[in-house]
């Protein structure tokens, strides 16, 4: 058309209307269905917030109990999927394993065809119920340990912790502090409007691909280090600084150098040009959990020093780069006992209600169309085929 307007990385293009999540990136505001994230983190539970994100309103006691029961009763996965985990190499990264698990779940579910509300709701509850089971099995596989069956009598988060860290011979010892902190972290991740993985879920789903395959695609998108994979990258960065004894200032100088190709992981955000409100909440929990035992945590100290150095540095000030959600989460996940390659899996468990809500919102919108971006062609003009013998 001769029109040369384009928008790399969709930085300015709205592709949908949505009633789920509101973000004001300049003011550092995040709300799900109108409720401020600070209130939900303090007063809600992950399942209640998931209900809110999925269905639009906070549940009554009865609605929450039914939702909870529906989920508890679908936590077991088919034996053949459980067996499937045994074919992956030991130490496989649990993110691709999770995505394969979700795709496989679709093959074992009868609610994959059609977009009736009933089928989508059945698939919603199956996915909410089974994702933690798949995640724990991926983890057990990565460490070569036998898997455990879910325990209906436990809460969503307790059951996941037990399946991850318990064993047949050794019961998992629950800590209220850890259970609460994980619940809060999941709440903080429940939705974040049109980020890379959610846009992926919508784009794949816009072709009327089923919910399971669309969510599996979202998991793959989330794995990248510029997105959810940043939580793993932050911890690796802090470890690297500690192991090699690099000074914090030296590290900050390095990420400012455009030739280094390195970034301060856990810093910067496409939408927040202010402190990410999730990071502020997590920072408080990190302090409480990590200082709880001996008051001493070397990596937290490095993180705090990095934050201070960056927030006082012109490079970061001019570009409005602040800590994002991933800056402090890894420290807490590690303190809970998770290895670094499980961090992004925990993000995926938290983000699941958001992905599903966005997918369902899109399917329910009669104006929805298949996603199909355009391009500006910059290749060769028309030319004639050259026979093999005549090519130089
Ligand atoms: N360290 C150093 N410089 C940075 C950083 C950083 N973390 N983030 C952005 N910049 C610089 C970037 O080099 C550019 O500089 P210049 O204008 O001189 O070329 C400027 O800031 C703008 O950056 P951008 O890459 O154009 O910004 P973006 O909106 O495309 O990228 C981002 C956003 C989150 C990918 C990026 O800030 C980043 O790579 N951060 C580190 C990875 C990270 O923590 N990701 C988690 C994001 S939040 C949770 C999630 O999405 O899962």
Ligand 1 center–CA 243 separation, angstroms: 25
Q: What's the CA-to-centroid distance between 38 and ligand 1, angstroms?
A: 25
Helix%, strand%, coil% for the chain, nearest 5: 60, 5, 40
Protein residue whose Cα sits closest to atom 11 of ligand 1:
319
Q: What span, in angstroms and rounded, lies between the C-alpha atoms of 368 and 203?
A: 11
Degrees to nearest 5, angle at CA 220 with 188 and 141: 90
- Tell me the two tokens of residue 84: 């499937």
CA neighbours closer than 13 Å in the CB half-sphere of residue 183? 21
What's the token pair of residue 48? Answer: 């209640």
> Candidates 268, 274, 315, 318: which one to mutate for ligand 1, based on the most atoms within 8 Å of Cβ?
268
Contacts for 8 with CB less than 8 Å, ≥ 6 apart: none
Q: Identify which of 48, 63, 205, 58 has the alpha carbon closest to the alpha carbon of residue 120.
A: 205
The protein residue whose alpha carbon is closest to atom 32 in ligand 1 is: 269
Distances (CA, A) of 171 to 73, 75, 167, 339: 22, 19, 6, 20
Predicted TM-score of the model (pTM) = 0.94
Strand 21-24, strand 29-32: pairing: antiparallel
Q: How far is the CA of 267 from the centre of ligand 1 (A)?
A: 7
Tokens 């030991």 correspond to what residue?
Answer: 90
Q: What distance separates the 2 farthest-apart alpha carbons in the chain?
A: 77
Verify whether residue 192 is a known catalytic residue. Answer: no
183 a catalytic residue: no
Structure tokens at 379: 């290749």
Ligand 1 neighbours by CB, cut-off 6 Å: 9, 195, 226-228, 230, 255, 263-270, 319, 321, 324-326
Exposed (0-12), middle (13-18) or buried (19+): which is 41, by Cβ within 10 Å?
Answer: buried
- Looking at ligand 1, which residue's alpha carbon is closest to its atom 20? 319
Mean pLDDT of residues grouped by 10 in the chain (392 residues)?
Answer: 74 94 96 98 98 98 97 94 89 93 92 80 96 95 90 95 92 89 97 98 96 97 95 93 92 93 93 94 84 73 94 96 93 91 96 98 94 94 97 93
CA of 378 to the centre of ligand 1 (A): 27
What is the C-alpha to C-alpha distance for residues 254 and 306, in angstroms, rounded to an integer?
A: 12
Testing ligand 1's pocket by substitution, the residue of 222, 263, 316, 326 carrying the most ligand atoms inside 8 A of its CB is: 263
> What is the rounded distance in angstroms from the CA atom of residue 158 to the CA atom of residue 183?
9
Q: Is 60 exposed, middle or buried (0-12, 13-18, 19+ CB in 10 A)?
A: exposed
* Residue 31 Cα to ligand 1 middle (Å): 23
* pLDDT number for residue 170: 83
Q: Pick the catalytic residue: 189, 269, 276, 297?
A: 269
């Amino acid at each position: 058309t001769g029109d040369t307007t384009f928008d790399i990385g969709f930085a300015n293009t709205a592709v949908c209307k949505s009633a789920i999540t509101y973000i004001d990136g300049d003011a550092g505001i995040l709300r799900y269905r109108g409720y401020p994230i600070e209130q939900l983190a303090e007063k809600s539970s992950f399942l209640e917030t998931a209900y809110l994100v999925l269905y639009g309103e906070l549940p009554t006691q009865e609605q929450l109990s039914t939702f909870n029961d529906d989920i508890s009763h679908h936590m077991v996965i088919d034996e053949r999927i459980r067996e499937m985990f045994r074919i992956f190499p030991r130490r496989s990264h649990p993110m691709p394993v999770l995505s394969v698990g979700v795709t496989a779940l679709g093959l074992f579910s009868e609610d994959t065809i059609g977009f009736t509300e009933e089928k989508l709701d059945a698939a919603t509850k199956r996915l909410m119920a089974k994702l933690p089971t798949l995640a724990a099995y991926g983890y057990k596989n990565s460490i070569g340990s036998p898997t455990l069956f879910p325990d209906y009598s436990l809460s969503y988060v307790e059951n996941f912790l037990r399946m991850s860290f318990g064993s047949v011979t050794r019961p998992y010892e629950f800590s209220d502090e850890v259970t609460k902190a994980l619940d809060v972290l999941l709440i903080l991740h429940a939705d974040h409007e049109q980020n890379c993985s959610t846009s992926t879920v919508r784009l794949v789903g816009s072709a009327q691909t089923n919910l399971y395959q669309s969510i599996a695609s979202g998991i793959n998108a989330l794995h990248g280090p510029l997105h959810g994979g940043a939580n793993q990258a932050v911890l690796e960065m802090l470890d690297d600084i500690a192991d090699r004894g690099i000074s914090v200032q030296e590290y900050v100088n390095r990420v400012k150098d455009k030739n280094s190709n390195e970034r301060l992981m856990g810093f910067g955000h496409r939408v927040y040009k202010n402190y990410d409100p999730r990071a502020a909440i997590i920072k408080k929990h990190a302090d409480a959990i990590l200082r709880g035992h001996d008051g001493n945590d070397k990596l937290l100290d490095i993180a705090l020093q990095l934050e201070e150095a960056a927030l006082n540095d012109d490079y970061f000030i001019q570009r409005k780069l602040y800590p994002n959600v991933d800056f402090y989460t890894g420290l807490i996940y590690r303190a809970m006992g998770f290895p670094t390659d499980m961090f992004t899996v925990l993000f995926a468990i938290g983000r699941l209600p958001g992905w599903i809500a966005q997918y369902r919102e899109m399917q329910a919108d009669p104006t929805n169309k298949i996603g199909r971006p355009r391009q500006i062609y910059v290749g060769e003009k028309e030319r004639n085929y050259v026979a093999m013998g005549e090519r130089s």
